[in-house]
Structure 1
Amino acid sequence: MQSRVNGLDLTALGETVEAIEQDAAKALVSFDVTTRWTGQTRSESTVTGFTLAGERIARSHTIVADEPCELLGTDSAPNPQELLMAALNACMMVGYVAGASLKGINLDTVEIVTRGQLDLRGFLGLSDDVAPGYEAIDYDVRITGDGTREQYEDIHQTVMKTSPNYFNLNRPIRMNGHLTVA
């Protein structure tokens, strides 16, 4: 078997899987993001690291969000809904690439197009009968490479079964909010 397929180091992946199989504590990963308002509808989120198997790993990333002018923003960055879809797509993308790589499939292209429609009456509190978010999200996966239709279908089913963000959006998750007023 090749050690790299689609840029993924399959030897390192195998070592990670083996280590987790031997010690389930090595599978625990936690992420945290801090978001600060920077004026009008704009915010900046910072990522300073994550914890993997009890070890803190430092990182430094900034994610900017804003609303389009038509929704009272300055259109300086994607809005939260676009970022939500981007996060979903990016998470599933890892699954498609890893799934293909593990099967020895060399990919030419992978594209995920995601769409959702929400009714602003819910967000604006104008109607209790209108949900403030999506009732459904539709997405299309377009994939090309040297795999068969059956192999791609198997990868697709696996992504829907194992993608964390697919899981998070497809089922309700408990939100534990706390307010601090200084």
Structure 2
Amino acid sequence: MTTTQTRAIDNGVNVAALLGAREALAAQPPAARFQWRASSEWLHGTHSRATVEGFHGLGAEQKHRRAYRYDTDHPEVFAAADNGATPVEMVLVGLAGCLTAGVAAVAQNRQIALHSVKATLEGDMDLRGILGIGDQTRNGFEAIRVHYEIDADATQAEIEALVAQSQKRSAVFDIVTNPTDVAVTARKRV
């Protein structure tokens, strides 16, 4: 008689809680409406500091365990002080974080043990757009490439399926690949 031992897979994602949230929010659509927030304060030159702390979700105001702060700036090649990543690099960071979290969650749900996951992102941009050199050049990324190196107890096809499902459900992937209405207002501070 042969006995098979099943090993519990733990990639650090509480899939039961995620599936429970999915079920609860399907039954209560208004609770699924979230509002994420960030504030930014100019410090000097092209250096700003953004803060993320509170958000609205599950029908009430929520807070992170602590405030998170992110400095953005431009590199010295732009005659700046290089006090932080550029804002466009932060977009790549957000995309990497969202897709990688998805890979971990999908792997956990499919009982695939991850040993390492590394994403490398590249975004191509022609700076003539933001510098106002010609109206035909886009200000933002022309292309973004995401490459994963994943060590997991899985076949190549299963790894590709993990990444595809993560991409399908990624909020940041959706944000950078689809138009989003953005309203900008300004008023003099008194």
Same fold flag (TM > 0.5): yes
What corresponds to 1:38 in structure 2? Answer: 43
1:18 is the counterpart of 2:23: yes
Residues in 2 aligned to 1:4 and 1:10: alpha-carbon distance in whole angstroms:
11
Residues in 2 aligned to 1:50 and 1:2: alpha-carbon distance in whole angstroms:
38
TM-superposed CA distance for 1:2, in Å, is 7.8
Larger Rg: 2
In structure 1, the residue corresponding to 2:23 is in which secondary structure? helix
The equivalences for 1:91-110 within 5 A come to 91-110=98-117
Letter in 2 for 1:72: A
Residues in 2 aligned to 1:76 and 1:35: alpha-carbon distance in whole angstroms:
15
What corresponds to 1:113 in structure 2? Answer: 120
Residues in 2 aligned to 1:12 and 1:2: alpha-carbon distance in whole angstroms:
20
Letter in 1 for 2:42: W
TM-superposed CA distance for 1:26, in Å, is 2.6
The equivalences for 1:74-153 within 5 A come to 74-153=81-160
Say if 1:121 and 1:127, in contact at 8 Å, map to a contact too.
yes
Pairwise CA RMSD: 1.7
In structure 2, the residue corresponding to 1:120 is in which secondary structure? coil
TM-superposed CA distance for 1:32, in Å, is 0.6
- Give TM-score, length-normalised by structure 1: 0.93
The Cα offsets for residues 100-146 of structure 1, whole Å up to 9 and x where unpaired, read as: 00001110111111111211111011111111111111111111110
Say if 1:43 and 1:66, in contact at 8 Å, map to a contact too.
yes
Q: Which moved more, 1:50-59 or 1:159-168?
A: 50-59
Say if 2:46 and 2:80, in contact at 8 Å, map to a contact too.
yes
The equivalences for 1:57-68 within 5 A come to 57-59=62-64, 60-68=67-75
The Cα offsets for residues 82-108 of structure 1, whole Å up to 9 and x where unpaired, read as: 111001100111110001000011101
For structure 2, list consecutive stretches of 5 or more residues without a partner in the other structure.
1-5
Residues in 1 aligned to 2:112 and 2:164: alpha-carbon distance in whole angstroms:
16
The number of aligned residues is 182
Residues in 2 aligned to 1:181 and 1:68: alpha-carbon distance in whole angstroms:
29
1:5 is the counterpart of 2:10: yes
In structure 1, the residue corresponding to 2:129 is in which secondary structure? helix
Residues in 2 aligned to 1:180 and 1:3: alpha-carbon distance in whole angstroms:
56
The Cα offsets for residues 37-79 of structure 1, whole Å up to 9 and x where unpaired, read as: 0001100001121111112112311111111111122112111
Residues in 1 aligned to 2:83 and 2:18: alpha-carbon distance in whole angstroms:
38
For structure 1, list consecutive stretches of 5 or more residues without a partner in the other structure.
none
What corresponds to 1:71 in structure 2? Answer: 78
TM-superposed CA distance for 1:4, in Å, is 6.4
